[in-house]
Amino acid sequence: MKKAVVLGAGYAGLKTVVELQKKCRGQVEITLVDENDYHYEATDLHEVASGNLPASKITFPITDVLDPRMTTLILAHVARVDEEKHLVILDGHAPLEYDYCVFALGFVSETFGIKGAAENSLPMTDVKEAEAIHEHIIKQMEDYRQTKDENDLRIIICGAGFTGIELAGALADARVRYAKLAGVTPDQIKIDIIDASKRLLPMFNDKLADYGIKLLEKLDVNIITEALIQEIQPGVVLYKGANDEEGTPLHKIVGNTIIWTTGVSGSPVVAESHLQERRGRVMDTAHLTAPDHDNLYMIGDVAAVMPPDGKRPYPTTAQIALSMANYVAKDIAARVKGTSRPGAYTYKSLGTVASVGNTRAFGEAGGHSFKGYPASVMKKMIMNKSLMELGGFRELFAKGRFDLYH
């Protein structure tokens, strides 16, 4: 019987397992490796970081969707993959042999070498980090009652990409709750978001991007663009403006909560496995495998897949991760059964929607733009769709987003 080892229980990895269980019953032994015994909806981490949702709302036990007759879950850290020997090397566990390996270990925070970023800011790449952000914010609000230090009331988000924008909206929704803890009025809770780009949200057309920015401005979020972060000190972000003359002193924003959402890279295990990579991502073949390694599939945040125009890889989203997983399961099933493999992988986005708080959003789908409350409903339906694909009705009814009116 063929052995398939899947590394990572995020959108890409877990979806691959779910589909293999359907397509290869009795023909494949599956081993799933992850450091946690739960799957989490990474697209909702900002809700946990803000405290608008508990972690339990965006997680479910991995075993809920595993068929124990086919799949074994191993909780361990992956050290590297030895593709020459077809082995996965784990810390504290015997190596795993495989016929097919699906590498879907996700992403880590990327500091781009900026001094102090790792030490003095809070990343948001998993549930534990999101919970740590919320706990930190709550502590600052409670401390304010004694310190009266206005910096306790200031939250700075470094990075105004998709994640940073959604986090800013969620934090704005939480202002009333924070203010009550601090004993102040909501307008005293200050939220800043800073980014190096001049034109934010490049994944949207100009009108939608401008709409999203105006939503944040209406929520009294201070947006600083064309700001090149130079250093993060305890409670201080130092940056220079794109048009500053040589010798101009660095600008600074002061606040006791600094959150880092400037960028991510693929898992460092990619480099440890001596694969051809850039920032933890491998340029996939047409079958989503690593070059020269046809039994090693690279999907999700560790994969770089080029669109037909060949300009730059598709953004790594939950949507493309699920799409990749569907393809890989089909490809492995065909190889196991000795039938013709599917043609080259292709991807067609169903649309992109960004939330700015619980009932405000903007985006496009099917060639049409959506704004405000209707876009917010659409965003939650998209999230429910991915939850349904992974966990079925059980997880959809338990964890789905049906909070449409508040």
Q: Which residues are catalytic?
A: 166
Please, which residues have CB within 8 angstroms of residue 273's CB and are 6 or more apart in sequence? 80, 81, 82, 83, 103
Report the distance separating Cα 108 and Cα 25, nearest Å.
Answer: 34
Residue 129, number of CB atoms within 10 A of its CB: 17
Report the distance separating Cα 54 and Cα 50, nearest Å.
Answer: 10
Nearest to 172 by CA among 164, 388, 389: 164
Q: Are 168 and 157 in contact (CB under 8 A)?
A: yes
Q: Are 7 and 103 in contact (CB under 8 A)?
A: yes
Q: How far is CA 361 from CA 162, 209, 291, in A?
A: 12, 11, 39
Beta bridge partners of 332: none
Q: Are 203 and 317 in contact (CB under 8 A)?
A: no
Tokens for 174? 């939480």
Report the distance separating Cα 248 and Cα 264, nearest Å.
Answer: 30
Instruction: List the alpha helices (DSSP H) in 93-244.
Output: 117-120, 127-147, 162-173, 175-182, 206-218
Report the distance separating Cα 158 and Cα 349, nearest Å.
Answer: 28
- Strand bridging mode 87-90 / 282-283: unpaired
